[in-house]
Amino acid sequence: MSPETVALAMFGALFLALFSGHPLAFSLGGVAVFFGLIGWGGSPEQVFALFTNKTYGVMDEYVLVAVPLFIFMAQMLDVAGIAEALFNTMHVLWGPVRGGLAIAVLMVCVVFAASTGVVGATEVAIGLIAVPNLLKRGYDIPMTAGAICAGGTLGILIPPSIMLVIYGSLTNISVGKLFAAAYFPGFLLASMYIAYVAIRCGLNPTMGPPLPREERMHTVGQKAWMVVTTLLPPVFLIAMVLGSLVIGVATTTEAAGLGAVGATILAIAYRKLTWDAIVEASIATLKITSMVMILFVGGNAFQSVFMGLGGGDAVSDVLLGFKASPYVVLFLMMGIIFFLGCVIDWLGILLIVTPVFGPVAQELGFDPLWFGTLICVNLQMAFLTPPFGYSLFYLRGIAPPEMTIEKIYKGVVPFICLQWVGLLACIFYPPIIMWLPKVIFGE
């Protein structure tokens, strides 16, 4: 079987397994076993020895210890009620503006994203609070859905991001540099979302009417106190986690540990820490971490067989064989990642494309940090693109009946377009990604 045939057959079998309804981790692992047995002469010892080595490699990856710690931090912030307190503050500050509540949702998403790094925690926590408030005040349902879904996905890009931690472990790129590189792209996307909502509601006030005057009768002192008690604590937590990492006094795992402790202290300060809350947060952390790690095992198995049978070389030869500008190849790779995002979870995509596209990008002369950040910006769209965008299902699971899946699909389309604009801006103006790492870490 030629390497080209292997590549096509393995991806074809993977898509067949996924569309048959099988979980991604077991689809990746099952396809790997099947093709490993075929490609290596039916030797199960060789195949399973390879899988065992790869699994031990995952277990031995120190930086991955940060994953459960960041997840626990997100769960404790949810317990502390940070999202609700922030929304109430932004509700008062932005209520008088057309579309102000939707803008408040996006701003809370930015702060919560920079505190947690977990999309599901951000979107569910904020969606449960924001959806009833916005719909009660007559906000357009598709725009409300799109703002919450798009805002929630910022948690996977704005540091501390689990995706960046995992990408760093896959490529041996400094997680601190990845965090620095992702800052401006994350805030660029957030700014575009806010501008879109403001412009659209400014042109059509019925889509996002301002709050009635009686709901915004707060003194300047009251507003200042709300900001101090709800905004400063998560900002302090962000500074503690990312500051310790950037200035070099803590590794990624140690910074994640600081974040977990800091989030627990906030839960104590807000008087929300109970034994039941600790148990609930711990069980949720265990479930999410187990899901991530079993995907790692399945993805590593698929990747190992795919590369071992020559699939990676075949894809590289095809991409490098184009007699065109390196940027044409770059756009082709970005297009493939976007397509995969419609049907595969972001972690599966990282595990599949990183070992294949990384060497191609290096051969084309692209900076590994810049290229890796482009992949992570692109994977924002994997959460929103139908039919399998996770954010769509997170929201539908907590939304009222009138917010149908069709309206959610309609609402995310403008935000997917904005994500493409943000990705193109990062491609054609690399300093958006590269300036901050150079300032912090030097050339």
Give the pLDDT score at 34.
84
Euclidean distance between CA atoms 57 and 304, whole angstroms: 12
Cβ within 8 Å of residue 39, ≥6 positions away: 1, 6, 305, 308, 309
Q: What is the three-state SS of 241-268?
A: HHHHHHCCCCCHHHHHHHHHHHHHHHHH
| Residue among 292, 176, 192, 182 at smallest CA distance from 243 | 176
Give the pLDDT score at 225.
82
Three-class DSSP category at 402:
coil
Calculate the average pLDDT of the chain.
82
For residue 398 the two structure tokens come to: 């907590």
For residues 249-271, average pLDDT: 84
Give the pLDDT score at 206.
86
Euclidean distance between CA atoms 190 and 109, whole angstroms: 9
75-113 tens-digit pLDDT? 887 777 777 777 777 777 777 788 888 888 888 888 877
For residue 373 the two structure tokens come to: 């950040």
114-170 tens-digit pLDDT? 776 667 667 777 777 788 878 887 888 899 889 888 888 888 888 888 888 888 888
What does DSSP assign to residue 97?
S
SS3 content of the chain, % helix, strand, coil (to 5): 80, 0, 20
For residues 59-72, average pLDDT: 78
For residue 136 the two structure tokens come to: 């009660």
For residue 427 the two structure tokens come to: 């491609």
For residues 259-273, average pLDDT: 86
Euclidean distance between CA atoms 105 and 153, whole angstroms: 13
Euclidean distance between CA atoms 252 and 263, whole angstroms: 16
Euclidean distance between CA atoms 245 and 249, whole angstroms: 6
Look at phi and psi of residue 80 and say left if phi exceeds 0, alpha if psi is from -120 to 50, else beta. Answer: alpha
Alpha-carbon separation of residue 139 from 44, 123, 128, 162, 224 (angstroms): 58, 18, 16, 32, 27
Q: Please report which residue ranges of 212-322 form alpha helices under DSSP H.
A: 220-230, 232-246, 252-269, 275-308, 311-320
What does DSSP assign to residue 132?
H
For residue 323 the two structure tokens come to: 């007699």
Give the pLDDT score at 193.
94
Euclidean distance between CA atoms 189 and 379, whole angstroms: 13
Phi, psi of 423 (to 5 degrees): -65, -45
Alpha-carbon separation of residue 37 from 46, 351, 415 (angstroms): 9, 21, 43
Give the pLDDT score at 243.
78
Cβ within 8 Å of residue 331, ≥6 positions away: none
For residues 211-229, average pLDDT: 72
Indicate the residue type of 146: G
Cβ within 8 Å of residue 200, ≥6 positions away: 99, 143, 207, 208
pLDDT at 177 exceeding the cut of 70? yes
pLDDT at 429 exceeding the cut of 80? yes
List the single range of 22-36, 144-158, 272-286 with lowest mean pLDDT: 22-36
